[in-house]
Amino acid sequence: MSTALHSRRDFEALLMRFLDPLRKHYDASCSRIELAGGGAQYEDEVIPMEAWARLLWGLAPFWAGGSRSADDFYEHAYCNGLIAGTDPQSDAYWGDCRDHDQKFVEMAAIAYALLLAPDVLWEPLTDGQRERAAAWLGKINEHSCPAGNWLWFQALVNLALRELGMPYNAGLLREDLDTLDSFYEDDGWYKDGPAGLPDYYNAMTFQFFSVLYIWKFGLRDTVRATGYLDRLKLFASDYVKLFSARGEGVPYGRSMTYRFAQAGFWSIAVAAGVNLGEGFDTACLKGLIMRNLEAWNRTRICDNGGVVTVGYRYPNQHMCESYNAAGSPYWCLMAFACLALPEDDSFWTLPASGTMPVHDGVVSALGGTGLVARDTGGEVVLYPSGRVPGHPFAQSDNKYSKFAYSSRFGFSVARSQRTLEEAAPDSVLSFVVGGRVFVRDGVDKSEIVTLGDGKCAVRTRWSPCPGIDVVTDIIPLTNGQLRSHIVTSAIDCVAFDAGFAVPGDYHWVTLEDTDKVCRVEAVGHVEGERVLLRPEANTNIECCKTVIPAVKYVINAGINKLATRVAVIE
């Protein structure tokens, strides 16, 4: 960001820089925001409603903290939009619902706003308008939701309806909260449903809404709130390890287009006054929020009209999910939850801490996700278990199953298996078989093993394709990693053990250039050829042009033992 954040006015100004470019895109009823962009897996008519609703993740705390837009534009727009969108007799009606309806996700944003700012979004409505709004929200109880973080959306709607004195489903609310509890694993982390994995949805849903529950309902339900708080403290001590000293979270998993929603957990913890445990004082949390927001270049993540794009560090439809439409990225506004604190709160004058309760040079386990390491410069590398979600999300192998994910180097997403250029196989051992490129897509077994000299490794057993089986040890080192592979192959082929994708114009960058940033070399008995892969543009989520240093190995039928060192140069 071009402007440093500190005061409440700084945060408000930044929020409005994201919101104000959308003013001209509201429809006449103010119940939709019409943006250019592609489709999604849900109905086209839901896309503008989603864009409308997602701004509430920022507006709700903005209102709760006592602020109003200069001309009351957003206050009028959202009251009028809610009235029109929930009226079956209106041409602007958002429509009835079905099982697994995308509107259920957006109902959560409305429920959040009703809980935080009822004086803006509820009290101005007439009794009839309230009844229609409540009836429409209640439709979430008439249909099924996916068994995962979506159950929080249903729970939030029922909590908001209960709080407002409107009809709600008490039995379903208890059932949802109990089912969500059943997804808890350990160290504060949840799996996202029976076949899900721990990823950023922990911070953006499970933990974010747990804080909200403590904040708004903790005195009414002390048993559940106490359990949530215990988990939150464990989670915070793990989650902070994913943030670099510069503020970035390690890009890993799906829904990266939500960007600084990564910081929403820290932000709502501040708003709620929740004690996350030793080391997480208010100055620390303010630093985490500020650094993460300031790490994003607004001119790169927005189009030339100021609209936040689908992508990560730059506009990139290729890496998005099937459920990402033009307004989806505004989930990022969760990071502004701290605006619920009023202007006179000491948070806004408190100096932000530059320190975090983690130490550089330390390798540690990270819940159910693997190992995480911080180098001496404060950059973070995540060494995951290699598992992929049970649901076939787009590009899960690239988003979950690489050997390493770095806060310094974003991961790449393949265009196809046809060529190495299209496969963009960074941080993986890829095999070229029959003119196709195969990488790790899930694992048969994963474990963390203790080695000599105080070292540990993520050990996985996996198969890229029929006829090839691999056992891989990934050992974090100071500023790098050592990889050991035992490849049992029924065929002759070639393999590429690749390092991180290094930013640079692939027309001109050489191995000598990448050696100054990321050097990859064979260190075992099997010799390999050092090569530079030149993937297609826009395959990496951090930089539109990259090169990938790698070692090319000849794989013979039988057992092949490979060892590769990836050294990251500060």
HEC sequence for 250-263 = CCCCCCHHHHHHHH
pLDDT top residue among 270 and 297: 270
115-127 per-position pLDDT tens digit? 999 999 999 999 9
Q: State the CB neighbour count (10 A cutoff) for residue 68.
A: 12
Per-residue pLDDT at 129 exceeds 90: yes
Average pLDDT over residues 470-496: 96
Residues with Cβ within 8 Å of residue 557, at least 6 apart in sequence: 489, 490, 491, 492
**Per-residue model confidence (pLDDT) at position 28:** 97
Which amino acid belongs to residue 306? G
Any idea what DSSP says for residue 280?
-
Query: 440, 422, 421: which is closest to 430 by C-alpha?
Result: 440
Percent of the chain exceeding pLDDT 90 equals: 90
Our CA dihedral for 215, 221, 225, 227, rounded to 10 degrees, sits at -170
179-207 per-position pLDDT tens digit? 999 999 989 999 999 989 899 999 999 99
Q: Which of helix, strand or coil describes residue 396?
A: helix
Listed range (164-173, 368-377, 441-450, 490-499) with the worst mean pLDDT:
368-377
Per-residue pLDDT at 376 exceeds 80: no
CA neighbours closer than 13 Å in the CB half-sphere of residue 477: 13
Handedness of CA 451, 457, 458, 463 (dihedral sign): negative
30-58 per-position pLDDT tens digit? 999 999 988 999 999 999 999 999 999 99
**Per-residue model confidence (pLDDT) at position 127:** 98
**Per-residue model confidence (pLDDT) at position 311:** 97
Residues with Cβ within 8 Å of residue 252, at least 6 apart in sequence: 199, 200, 242, 382, 384, 399, 400, 405, 411
Structure token digits, residue 407: 């806060």
> What element of type H or E holds 489?
strand 480-489
Average pLDDT over residues 531-544: 96
Question: How remote is the C-alpha of 552 from its chain's centroid?
Answer: 33
**Per-residue model confidence (pLDDT) at position 362:** 81
Q: Where are the alpha helices (DSSP H) in 348-426?
A: 396-400, 420-423
**Per-residue model confidence (pLDDT) at position 2:** 42
Report in angstroms the alpha-carbon separations of 272 from 7, 170, 312, 485. 18, 25, 29, 47
Angle between helices 264-272 and 207-217 (to 10 degrees): 10
**Per-residue model confidence (pLDDT) at position 110:** 98
Average per-residue pLDDT in the chain? 95
Our CA dihedral for 249, 250, 251, 252, rounded to 10 degrees, sits at -120
Per-residue pLDDT at 266 exceeds 80: yes
Structure token digits, residue 475: 């050992």
Angle at 112 between CA 110 and CA 114, to 5 degrees: 70
**Per-residue model confidence (pLDDT) at position 478:** 84
Which amino acid belongs to residue 261? A
13-23 per-position pLDDT tens digit? 999 999 999 99
Q: Where are the alpha helices (DSSP H) in 65-149?
A: 73-85, 103-116, 118-121, 127-137
300-341 per-position pLDDT tens digit? 999 999 999 999 999 999 999 999 999 999 999 999 999 999
Phi, psi of 291 (to 5 degrees): -65, -40
Per-residue pLDDT at 1 exceeds 50: no
